[in-house]
Amino acid sequence: MDIAIGMDVDGPLERTLERAAGLRARGFTRMWSSQIFGPDTLTVIAVVGREYPDLDLGTAVVPIQTRHPTMLAAQARTVQEAIGGRLSLGIGLSHKAVVEGMWGISFERPASYMGEYLEILAPLLRGERVRVKGERVSATTIGALGPSDTRTPGLLVAALAPKMLEMAGTLTDGTLTWMTGVKTLATHVVPTINAAATAAGRPTPRIVCSLPISVTSDVADTMAKVNETLEIYGTLPSYRAMLDREGAKGPADVGLFGTREQVLEKLQALADAGVTEFSAAMAGDADDREETYDTLLAYQSR
């Protein structure tokens, strides 16, 4: 299992570059960044990847409702050229509260919308033309978007429900998960997406798991702070469903907390469940983070 780390892109671009440089100096070469309400994460990745050409970078995730697939494909292929072919494009549906409540866009039949979106986006990322007439989204192109010799970016979909996992396994390179514990990964996520990929004749999918993590001597305090900071994720329907499937009361219950040895064991449990890449969402105080960084690197060097 590969080790990655979340790259915070909020705030000034220079600060993001400093963060990326610090993580790189520690030995981390895989980084994922989210697209929530701050800077445009693909633009930031283009700058960071141009500055540090040895980093593998990805979005976890870009919501699809605010970007037509032709626009997202053109942007992703341009970023891919800018950073030398090291982009993984993670996309997702966001949540009804955001899509309808904040953006004023319909969240009706989200899985159906994602299917139509992928029918356009996936071939465009490969540099192909498309002619798609969907119920919700359509596109006709007359040529490739972006440089013709650009390597296809990796394409992953944030998928948790069975239909979305099957779609990800059939049409994309894999999935990204959040708030999903090891038991649910082993019994639900991994077998569902792997079966779909096998049926479609595709390679074994990438399964990128992100969870809070901290090597700490005060697990109770760390978990309390994580539950407070990440409280909203326990209320969003898609994540709540995964927490319930796991038997978890709150976000901290699926985190990786404890001694160095305990956290290493939990990382190995994720790998044994079929996770191909772990993206660390750092928790804990400054001293705990230093030990957590060291533990992640120790696992990476195995």
Phi, psi torsion values for 131, nearest 5 degrees:
-145, 95
pLDDT per residue over 129-168, tens digit each?
999 999 999 999 987 676 666 799 999 999 999 999 999 9
User: What is the pTM (predicted TM-score) of this model?
Assistant: 0.96
Give the type of residue at 88: S
- Label residue 95 by pLDDT band (50, 70, 90): very high
pLDDT per residue over 189-203, tens digit each?
999 999 999 999 999
Task: Show the tokens assigned to 43.
Answer: 């633009």
**Residue 258 and residue 179 in contact, taking contact as beta carbons nearer than 8 Å:** no
pLDDT per residue over 246-256, tens digit each?
999 999 999 99
pLDDT computed for residue 148 by the predictor: 64
- Label residue 296 by pLDDT band (50, 70, 90): very high
Name the helix (H) or strand (E) containing 175: strand 174-178
**Residue 115 and residue 167 in contact, taking contact as beta carbons nearer than 8 Å:** yes
pLDDT per residue over 27-68, tens digit each?
999 999 999 888 999 999 999 999 999 999 999 999 999 999
Residues 6+ apart with CB under 8 A from 201: none
User: What's the whole-number mean pLDDT along residues 291-300?
Assistant: 97
Sorted by where each starts, the structural domains of the chain and their CATH numbers stand as: 1-157 (3.20.20.30), 159-302 (3.20.20.30)
pLDDT computed for residue 37 by the predictor: 85
